[in-house]
Amino acid sequence: MAKTHPHIDDRIRAFIEKQKMFFVATAPSGDGGHVNLSPKGYDSFRILGPNEVAYLDLGGSGIETLAHVRQNGRITFMFCAFEGAANILRLYGKAEAVSFDEPGFSDKLALFPDFPKARTIFTAKIDRIQDSCGWGVPFYDYAGERDQLIRANAHRSDEEWSERRYVSNAASIDGLPGLVKPDAAE
């Protein structure tokens, strides 16, 4: 049976910090559009306070999370125990985003390891924390992080990388604005 918690306590923090992977879910406003669910890895999640978290988005082929958060702010993080005691933890909240070309990005980037490139940092105020049994989640053996994304980002110059982001991440699959090149916004 699901149980809610008023804040991220030491037990919840320990569970989050032990996980090698988490999931981020967002959706556009209204009846249309696509719900997005993205798996995340690396050392990219931070607990900022009892009801505040952040995650570092290293980029990818889609821009759904950023587009949805900028439209309505809704976000859910999910952590599953794939080893040890069964558990599923969900953090529901309202997020804000700051991308690599915006003021404040560098300050927030200091919260995370020094990855070669990072696209966006999301911070979220968490208004519901819920865990459930997770008995249907399978066990798996962690083999390590994939390094393709880090390698792909590392070999591009900052200019090449940012131009690629602006071109490939301009709009979500539903046509919502994604990354907007600063001179294009004027």
- What pLDDT score was predicted for residue 183? 78
Structure token digits, residue 68: 């949805």
Mean pLDDT over residues 32-61, rounded?
96
Coil vs helix vs strand at 100: coil
User: What are 72-130's pLDDT values in tens digits?
Assistant: 999 999 999 999 999 999 999 999 999 999 999 999 999 999 988 999 999 999 999 99
Q: Where are the beta strands (DSSP E) in 17-143?
A: 22-26, 36-40, 45-49, 52-57, 74-80, 88-99, 120-132
Predicted pLDDT at 154 = 86
The token duo for 147 is 């390094």
Indicate whether 186 belongs to any domain: no
Total tally of structural domains belonging to the chain = 1
**What is the DSSP-derived secondary structure letter of residue 45?**
E
Residue 185 placed within a domain: no
* pLDDT score at 153: 86
What range defines the domain where residue 74 resides?
A: 3-180
State residue 186's pLDDT score: 56
Q: Report pLDDT for 185.
A: 57
- CATH number of the domain enclosing 41: 2.30.110.10
For 132, the 3-state DSSP assignment is: strand
